[in-house]
Amino acid sequence: MRLPELAAALNVSPADLPDVEVRGVTHHAAWVQPGFAFVAIRGARFDGHSFAGDVAARGAAAVLGEGLPEGLTSPLPYLTVPDARAALADAAAALEGHPSRALQVVGVTGTDGKTTTSWLLRHLLRASGLRTGLLSTVGYELPDGVLRHFPAHFTTPEAPQVQATLREMLDAGARAAVLEASSHALALDRVRGVAWDVAVWTHLSREHLDFHGTLENYFADKRKLVERAPFAVLNADDPWTEQLTGIAPAETTYSAEGRAADWQATDIKERATGLHFRVRSPLGEFAAQLPMIGRFNVANALAGLAAAARLGAGVPELVEGLASFRGVPGRMELVPGGEGAPRVIVDFAHTPSSLDKALTTLRATTRGRLWVLLGSAGGPRDPGKRAPLGEVATRLGDHAVFTEEDHRDTPLDEILAEMERGAREAGRTNFVRIGDRREAIRQVIREAQPGDTVLLAGKGPEDTLERGAETLPWNEVAEARAALEARQ
């Protein structure tokens, strides 16, 4: 795309723009390549305009920003835009040729359940014959079903990576895409420029208040997905849904708890083979089986069914798709341990509500004792959930082990003390502190007996462990396997 064409796409028209090619866009100076447009964003610590000379030396074609700071000139053509983050997203979409317009795109948002719902939905759509891509916190998939990961420096995909991934999906033959839409992605315009077809709402609970400030602000950012889609799939069991009803031009509702809804689950049974239930829906009533543990996954299944039906899936494909789903890496993932070993489960649960659900589910199917190992993130992450995590772990688990989980620049002792405080204030003493996560995993699996269940919570599928200033490679399932082997 030529620079004047990009300016026109952004609705800005500075005079005398050179007719140079723009090959990409980024707001990170270190990622600039020859021909890139650099978006200068004013952040809390740095003003991107201060890197104008650096990006010029790297071969940038232009700088975009909300206006040059007083006394500063740009060595490159400068485009003044009303909102730099919006311009980053709009430029990325334009440079990739707006790939989402050629796809049926479903966005999934909520505090818990969005990853499982996203993976399940992509599986249902593929079972219906629709070539589907996936972009989730676990990684991304093209229609070939191979899980890929962004390079380590793309901790969270920004708008250029989102648009490039959608383009890659389209070029690989995808006709649909399922995207997890986090509150950060919505608030920071990372998914701006995505042409949504369906918005799926799971539920809302306390999370990321360090970023959003209040629960109401958190809700307002997540609500943007529903505001931008022509069709919404809403959870009738979530109290926040009443503030979402009527926002999208069309909507459907679901309930796993017996509330009035378009999609309802009845006669729910948890068996050794998974979840069995009946579905009442606009497509009729039918029996369903989902080979997953956790009654809460019935709600995720209903959300996926309703969204897949909106994109044309019929009852036979939905039933077959549910029955053949094999879950999400790091989400209630069973780590086989062989005869005489405890049952070990790896799960991403890292909020009080998600930990409550996970432990309640495992308690119902545990013959012996229930062990839980968990930590809480450091740095600027919401510190208000640390004490509640300690309370939930010790109330629902027989034994709790408090350990590290990406403590970053927050002293680990400070985090663990808060978790212990939550437990003690609830009158609990059934916990220990082991700072090293690998050592903690080995000890808890060594002490657990046959018939016991061990939940390793908080890390799930993440492939790094942030310990102070270090970022270490990490694989929770591999650590669990090693501990089981050492136990034998």
Measured distance CA(166)–CA(242) in Å, rounded: 32
CB 439 within 8 Å of CB 375: no
Residue 220 CB contacts under 8 Å (≥ 6 apart), including other chains: none
Binding site as annotated, residues for ATP:
110-116
For residue 461, CA distances in Å to 233, 337, 395, 475 come to: 27, 19, 26, 7
Please count the CA atoms within 13 angstroms of the CA of 378 that sit on its side-chain side. 20
Element (H, E) at 164: helix 159-171
Measured distance CA(293)–CA(226) in Å, rounded: 29
Bridging pattern class, strands 470-473 and 464-467: antiparallel
Measured distance CA(127)–CA(145) in Å, rounded: 12
As given in the structure block, the two tokens for residue 27 are: 């707001």
- State the Cα torsion 273-133-333-115 to the nearest 10°: -100
Measured distance CA(411)–CA(421) in Å, rounded: 16
CB 27 within 8 Å of CB 84: yes
Percent of residues in the chain assigned helix, strand, coil, to nearest 5: 35, 25, 40
Cβ-based burial of 358 (10 A; exposed 0-12, middle 13-18, buried ≥19): buried
Paired strand residues for 289: 276
What sign does the CA torsion over 432, 437, 441, 443 have? negative
Binding site as annotated, residues:
110-116, 155-156, 182, 190
Q: Which of 101, 100, 105 is nearest to 118 (CA)?
A: 105
Paired strand residues for 6: none
Q: For 3-16, give the DSSP string.
A: HHHHHHHTT---SS
